[in-house]
Chains A and B, each alone.
Chain A
Amino acid sequence: MRTAGIHQAVFFYIIMNPIINIKNLSKSFIDESSNENTMILHHIDFHMNDGEFVSLIGPSGCGKSTLLNIISGLDNPDNGEINISDIQSNNRLGKLSYMQQKDLLLPWKTVLDNSILGLEVQNENKRVSEQKAVELLETFGLSGYENYYPNQISGGMRQRASFLRTILTNKKILLLDEPFSALDSITRSQMQKWLLKLWKQFNKTILLVTHDIDEAIFLSDRIYVMQNNNFNSMQIIHVELPRPRTREIVLDDSFIKIKKEILPLIEN
């Protein structure tokens, strides 16, 4: 009874203290050809709890990447509030880890030097940074490749090297913008399982943008479904599937039930 009470208390605490809390956020862009103001994000409410895995899913052009750019600090909203715990100032750049769709490795740097780029920018000691990276090479499936250049390794490896760079910045929150979309389905499935392992190992809070429904359900605790129609456009789907999850779960009735819930929202 007592333990249950504590759990409840902890649970309540987490709910009350989201790590990211966005209220009533709006963003519009001016279309250069017609000079019209296009509303991309319309009064968005969004939150993420500590240690949660949340996916953002929706058709292209619905503003997924825009929201991610705003959270990361690359862009600013027109209206609304963004509260991210531990970040007081308005400048969010460099305070969250953000991995974009492309691997964006620098062709003139080796895998090892690419992976420590974030630490290099923070002026950390090079030897110490390299030490940190070398320790993780195995986990990221890159051991033996530390001295290779990006165009000498495969797409999956490049993505993992990019990931290593993101992880090494050692931020609590990870923003991932369709990180696997350029990979073939087998590599992609391996990377998904690997991402779940990483999420647990490093105790991160992950926000994943994807257009793949299966990927979202397989990985997430909660899914935000964004729609193209302007009003009330965010739907929240809770994924209450047990963890650890295996690949077979996609055939499970509960999985398919969630998928049936999401599909009409997106098709719309």
Chain B
Amino acid sequence: MQNTIKKINTKLKTVFVQWFPAVILIFSLLVIWEISCRLADVPKWLLPVPTDIIVELYEHWNLLLRHSFVTLYEILIGFSFSIISGILIGGLIVYSKTLEKAIYPIIISSQTIPIIAIAPILLVWFGYGLLPKILVVGLIAFFPIAVNTIDGLKSIDDDLVNMMKTLGANKSQIFKKIQIPNSLPYIFTGLRIGMAASVIGAVISEWVGSSEGLGYLMIRSKPQFLTERVFAAIFLLSIIGFLLFLLVNYCEKKIVYWRTLSE
């Protein structure tokens, strides 16, 4: 019992020590922002102070939360779609030389198309609903996940493959037992990049045309000079991004457990 408390205490201490400088820095920047805006008497519609944003969050949390969930939903569905397709297609490309020749050039060249630019076309085709947002998020996060999966599956130590061969392993056993576990750290790198991109994808596709979500709220609040609401939306977007980042990190620690083993 006492041991557990001690353990939790040391863990809290390390978390505290690790985050303390960042927290102090952010807090002092916020204070400087608040004080200088008040001293210079900057109007609220031009640049609201942090306390304005906090008040906005408090007073309209119902509205903000509803739109946050819409955006979060789009990100989660689109991101899941890109994880599945990215890993699957990446795997197929590495597994089959023919598929590699057929698909890989298409994937690479398709990246010269700015995905965000096709958002208006998707709007024309699929309307104001969820589908075009999910498609944009999915497409934008697909590439980093697929490329990192391919990298991970290919970056295998030849000696390991030879070792498996001398044990009598066939191609699919080598793929399953060596290449897939070896690719996991790479896939998580792809997931982190894709995660950040998918938040951007969701917001921009909402700007292009939508009737709900944080991006929509920003577009609607701007002409009304509700700048503090735009800031509140940005704050909530970064919270969403941060939480998803923590989620990916947590999954990585659980799945790529051998990377964080203590000696």
Name the A residues within 8 Å of B167 (CB-CB): 94, 117-118, 121-122, 169
Bound-state CA distance A152–B258 (Å) is 10
Bound-state CA distance A213–B263 (Å) is 35
Main secondary structure of the interface of B (DSSP, over half): helix
- Choice from B157, B173, B261 contacting A121 with Cβ under 8 Å: B173
A sample of 16 more A-B contacts (CB under 8 A), given A93-B166, A96-B166, is: A73-B165, A74-B165, A74-B166, A93-B165, A93-B168, A94-B165, A94-B167, A95-B168, A100-B163, A102-B159, A104-B160, A107-B258, A121-B164, A121-B173, A151-B258, A169-B168
Say how far B172's CB is from chain A's closest CB, in angstroms: 11
Most buried by A among B159, B165, B257, B259: B165
Q: Are A108 and B258 in contact (CB under 8 A)?
A: yes
A106 contacts the other chain (Cβ, under 8 Å)?
Answer: yes
Interface size class of B (residues with CB under 8 A): 20 to 34
Bound-state CA distance A98–B165 (Å) is 10
A149 contacts the other chain (Cβ, under 8 Å)?
Answer: yes
Interface residues of chain A, those whose CB is within 8 Å of chain B, are 69, 72-74, 93-98, 100, 102, 104, 106-108, 117-118, 120-122, 149, 151-152, 169
Interface residues of chain B, those whose CB is within 8 Å of chain A, are 157, 159-160, 162-169, 173, 177-178, 181, 257-259, 261-263
Q: Are A121 and B169 in contact (CB under 8 A)?
A: yes
Q: Are A152 and B168 in contact (CB under 8 A)?
A: no
Bound-state CA distance A118–B168 (Å) is 8
Closest to B162 in A: A74
Say how far B166's CB is from chain A's closest CB, in angstroms: 4
Closest to A94 in B: B168
Name the B residues within 8 Å of A149 (CB-CB): 258, 261
Name the B residues within 8 Å of A69 (CB-CB): 162
Bound-state CA distance A35–B201 (Å) is 50
Closest 7 A-B residue pairs measured CB to CB?
A: A94-B168, A98-B166, A118-B167, A121-B169, A108-B258, A104-B163, A107-B258
Q: List 5 A-B contacts (CB under 8 A).
A: A104-B160, A108-B257, A118-B168, A149-B258, A152-B262
Q: Are A152 and B261 in contact (CB under 8 A)?
A: yes
